[in-house]
Amino acid sequence: MLTSGAGSQTIRTNLYAALLAYLKIGMTDLGSKDQGGVLDLSEGARLQQANLEVVQSYGTNLLEVVARDATTGHDVRRMLALAVLDELVGLDRAAGTLRFISSQGFLRHLVESLSADQAGLTELLTKPGGNVRFLYVLEAKLGLLVRAASHPVGAEL
C-alpha cells in the first residue's frame, strides 16, 4: 500500500482516474452510427466483463481500499473512488460488489452521510464562495446510490 504522504495521495488519485477509464473501456456510444471502429454491443459487453474480472481478481482487499477512500480523504479522491464503485456496481450483474459494500457497512454509511451533507449543501446554495467540490462528491454519492437502487439486489439492500 501507499504511504499517506501528499505525493502518494496524488498518485492514488491518479490511479483511481486510470482505473475509472479502464472500467469504461468497451462502452459504446449508441447515438453515433457514423464513427468507424465503434465496437458492437457484444464486443463491448465482452470487454466490460473482462475488465470486471480483472478487477475482481484482486479480491476484497481492493474493494476495501476503494470503499475506505470513498468515505475519507481529499474530495477529488473521494469523488473518483465513488465513481469507481459506481462503475463496478454497474458492471457486476451478479451484484457481488454491491453485496460486499453492503456487508462491510459502506452502503449504510453512505446513506447516513446524506443527512450530514445537508448542511454543506445549504451553505453552498446560500453563501457566496461555498466549496463546489462538496457538490461533486455529493453527486458521486447519489450516483452510486441510484445505481445500487436500480439493481434488484441493491433495492432490497
How far lies 14's CA from each of 73, 76, 77, 122, 155, in Å? 14, 10, 8, 30, 32
Q: Quote the pLDDT of residue 37.
A: 53
In sequence order, the 6+-apart residues with CB closer than 8 A to the CB of 10 are none
> With 90 as the cut, is the pLDDT of residue 100 above it?
yes
Q: Are 148 and 89 in contact, with CB atoms under 8 Å apart?
A: yes
Q: What pTM was computed for the model?
A: 0.83
CA distance 52 to 88: 7
pLDDT in tens, 123-143: 888 888 777 888 899 999 999
